[in-house]
Chain A
Amino acid sequence: MGLFKSAFNKIKQGLDKTRSVFVNEVRTILSGKPLSKELLKQLEARMIQSDFGVKTSRELVADIEAAWERDEISTGDHALAFLKDQLNAYWPAEDRSLHFADSGPTIILVAGINGAGKTTSIAKIAKSLRDQNKKVMLAACDTFRAAAVQQLEIWSERLGVEVIKGQQGGDPAAVAFDACEAALSRGVDVLLIDTAGRLHTQKHLMDQLSKIKRVIQKKFPEAPHEVILVLDATTGQNAVNQASVFAQSIDVSGIFLAKLDGTARGGIVVAIREVLGIPVKFIGVGETPDDVEPFVPDKFVEAMFSA
């Protein structure tokens, strides 16, 4: 799609740790051995430890076992190839690029729980769009957390893009509305709206988020053109709860999987895909604004399993 530079090496780099822990062990567990119940049990245990989730892990291993019973596969290496195919099947071809408005500014609403990495992720998206010669504007709607507005302001200075901000303690929906007006009058291509981190269990805060979305729609009925949920890749099974509650309140169109450069195994991506069907659009693989990549499932799986 030309929006981001070639991804493969970066993902591999980001997933280094994943590979070293998961793949190496998967390889050690499976390679050069005939399949056995014990072997499958070890594989399941490794997958659970990589945050695939109990249910997903058991299903994937059950599929391998079924294929084994049908005599389609007989060795650990077969099982590994089979698992790769299975994972690839989780990600059918679909539109994982950003949707832009037909005319006027494209509005991208960004949300997530506290500390997921929203502001950094916004800086990353902003930089890549700016590098595409798009005129980008940021809206600092996190009026709750101390210094959140300043944090986005510093990014706007570093990236040389405009920012619309509100007062700490002010109404975030009002800031969003102002930003929409400013984006229109100043001929901005993309408006990225940063919101306060909120736990999905806080109903009133989720309501506030729906309100922000409604207010944006007052100005642009078609907007937001993208609703990005930022998820911390180290999160466990709770990420599925988060994604489903956010999806209910603001109809999430894509996921930004942040902090995949750590030791996160990325297994949670599979569970989220399975339960909710929301595509992962970006992955964050580092601290600088350049450390963002589009999510490419077959390359992601390939990177996970290549030695």
Chain B
Amino acid sequence: MFGNLTDQFSNALKKLSGKGKISESNVREAMDDVRTALLEADVHYEVVEQFCENIQQKALGEEVLASLKPGQQMIKIVHDELVATMSGVPVGQEADEFEAQPGIMFVSPGPTVVMMSGLQGSGKTTTTGKLAAVLKKQGKKVMVAAADLQRPAAVHQLEVLANQVNEEFDKGPDVLFHAELDKVAEYGKAVGAAVTVCRNAVAKARQEKCDVVILDTAGRLHVNDELMGELRQVQSAVQPHQILLVIDAMTGQDAVNSAKAFNSQLELDGVILTKFDSDTRGGAALSVRQITGKPIKYLGVGEHLDALEEFHPERISSRILGMGDVVSLVEKAQQQVSEEEALELQEKMAKGKMTMDDFLNQLNMMRKMGSMKSLLGMLPGIGNQIAQMDIDDKEINRTEAIIKSMTKKERTDVDLLDNSRRRRISQGSGTKPADVAQLVKGFDMVSQMGKQMSGMGMLSKLKAMSGMGNAMGAGMDPRAMMGGMGGMGKAPKKPSFKQKFKQRKKRR
């Protein structure tokens, strides 16, 4: 995410940060690099111009030239300006309450009517499912309504998604599904029918005392007057409280045009950027906010139903500049583990009593948090490195298979695992004996580290984790890593000099 932009920025700013004192031409040179980087990232041309203009003025002012550390001062200016562009709040001003609140605003009494809109293929239906999951987890009673009557099987897709949400997330009331199959028609033949479906859905949601009803409309081009007219009809018929535009994060310069058109026709309340887990440089994030003035509410970051993140301009800006995003990571972990569970595990680890079952639980928790790559990408300093790495999420599946091939006794006492047992386990799990050995080694390491780190504070743990990230970049075994990351923060320290010495001796 934002990988390349970060690299480009690092390069541009490196030129500055090495210098004790910078001249005006230094600043201009760096600004040229920043400008190219932003354009290659698909940031809209006009936004780039404005952005660079602002920075250059500040950088050329007393602030940087007189500063003791001009490079750092410059990074701060770029960072602040990025945040300002993406939050719409000028540098030095506080966001007002509404702007500062990400996500959906609820009305009372309900139902809060949310309308999704966007181009074909931007990800409206999938995002509707994800949003329903987010709200369900917050304890809201949600209804999703299939108002896409054009794309073949779109109605069925939403129904399947609603069922999946109900199966996968226990918390909160079940998501309801509204559809009127008799109104489905071929392209261009169902114009107007969506208005009835939406009206009926809202009425039904009111009857069922739903907190939120999400209307999934058909994809349409912003230059198609007839279909844009249909959206306006829906708008005036049901008066949605929130109209969200779904935009593909990989969109080029045109993102701004479609956002502008939808905004002027519908008065958008916010934007959801999808497919943000690709290697797009994500310029759309920067420009859509600037051009429409509407906040980005969520980011779609994966294929699974829980892959929807709240958008925080601060954090994304930090990520662009390669500062990492530890806060998101900690938040993700907190969603998965209750405090008691974490404490219990910590105690076990401190006493060296962690079992393979605990280990497996941690792996499963990690799996729920997202792909390894997206998790590691949030750690400071390693965002650039992981872009080139192959991290196979199937590794977790393999590890699970190995642990599940162990007997209960073996899982609580790893010392039992002699060669014969290991052979049996490897056969049972379809892996090589070396894989089993590696897992045991990784497990040992994690439980050792658990004991060592039990006394550390949160901050040192996070620091230790970022060290671990670097170790990962240097080719450390991911399996040992995963154990370390599970349980948040109970991670291995870098080996001390003595340990390294011992290892070297062993190798000889």
Asked whether, in the complex, the Cβ of B252 is within 8 Å of the Cβ of A234, the reply is yes
Whether A238 and B253, one on each chain, are in contact in the complex, defined by CB atoms closer than 8 angstroms, is no
Per-position 1/0 for B270-295, Cβ under 8 A of A: 00001101111101100000000000
How many B residues touch the partner, as a band?
Answer: 35 or more
How far, in whole Å, are A238 and B2 apart by their CA atoms in the complex? 12
> CA of A265 to CA of B44 in the docked complex: distance in angstroms?
14
Q: Mark B389-422, 1 if CB is under 8 A from A, else 0.
A: 0111110000000000000000000000000000
Cα separation A208 to B308 with both chains bound (whole Å): 25
Which listed residue (A117, A199, A265) contacts B277, Cβ 8 A? A199
Task: Judge whether B299 is part of the interface by a CB distance below 8 angstroms.
Answer: no
**A116 lies within 8 A of chain B by Cβ:** yes
229-272 of chain A: CB within 8 A of chain B: 232, 234-239, 241-242, 259, 261-265, 268
Q: How far is the CA of A238 from the CA of B161 in the complex (A)?
A: 28
0/1 interface trace, chain B 371-398, chain A, CB 8 Å (1 if under): 0010000000000000000111110000
Interface segment out of the listed B16-24, B75-83, B147-155, B228-236:
B147-155
A54–B151 Cα distance when bound, in Å, is 35
A238 touching B258, Cβ below 8 Å = no
What CA separation (Å) do A181 and B387 show in the bound complex?
Answer: 40
Instruction: Select one of B36, B122, B392 contacting A54, CB under 8 A.
Output: B36
A259 touching B120, Cβ below 8 Å: yes
Asked whether, in the complex, the Cβ of B281 is within 8 Å of the Cβ of A115, the reply is: no
Contact of B251 among A144, A146, A200, A234 (CB under 8 A): A234
Question: Is A150 engaged at the interface, CB distance under 8 Å to the other chain?
Answer: yes
The contact string, 1 if C-beta is below 8 Å from chain B, for chain A 186-230, is 000000000000011111100000000000000000000000000
Could you tell me the distance in whole angstroms from the C-beta of B231 to the nearest C-beta in chain A? 16
Q: Is A203 touching B392 in the complex (CB atoms < 8 A)? A: yes
Task: Report the separation of the CA atoms of residues A144 and B255 in the bound assembly, to the nearest whole angstrom.
Answer: 28
Contact of B39 among A48, A146, A203 (CB under 8 A): A48
- Contacts of B291-307 to chain A: CB distance below 8 A: 303
Total CB contacts across the A-B interface at under 8 A: 152
Q: What's the least CB distance linking A129 to chain B, in Å?
A: 19
Structural contact, A155 and B152, CB atoms closer than 8 A: yes
Whether A6 sits at the interface, judged by CB under 8 Å, is: no
Whether the Cβ atoms of B253 and A158 lie closer than 8 Å is no
Of chain A, the residue at the smallest CB distance from B184 is: A154
Whether B283 lies near A204 (C-beta < 8 A) is: no
Nearest Cβ distance between residue A140 and chain B, in whole angstroms? 11
Asked if A203 and B390 make an inter-chain contact with CB atoms under 8 angstroms apart, the answer reads: yes
CB neighbours of A241 from chain B (8 A): 279
B164 at the binding interface (Cβ < 8 Å): yes
B223:A50 contact, CB within 8 angstroms:
no
B216 at interface, CB cutoff 8 A: no
A236 touching B42, Cβ below 8 Å: yes
* A116 CB contacts on chain B under 8 angstroms: 121
CB distance from B123 to the nearest CB of A (A): 6
* Nearest Cβ on chain B to A169's Cβ, whole angstroms: 11
* Residue in B129, B251, B275 whose beta carbon sits within 8 Å of that of A236 in the complex: B251
Please, how many angstroms separate the alpha-carbon atoms of A149 and B256 in the complex? 33
* Known interface pairs A45-B45, A145-B157, A236-B283; A264-B254 also in contact (CB < 8 Å): yes
Whether the pair A263, B258 counts as a contact (CB closer than 8 A) is yes
Q: Please report which residues of chain A, range 138-164, place their CB below 8 angstroms from some CB of chain B when the two chains form the complex.
A: 144-148, 150-155, 158
B250 and A287 form a contact (CB under 8 A): no
B219 to A: closest C-beta gap in Å: 9
9 A-B pairs with least C-beta separation: A236-B252, A115-B121, A147-B157, A236-B42, A146-B160, A154-B152, A150-B153, A151-B153, A51-B252
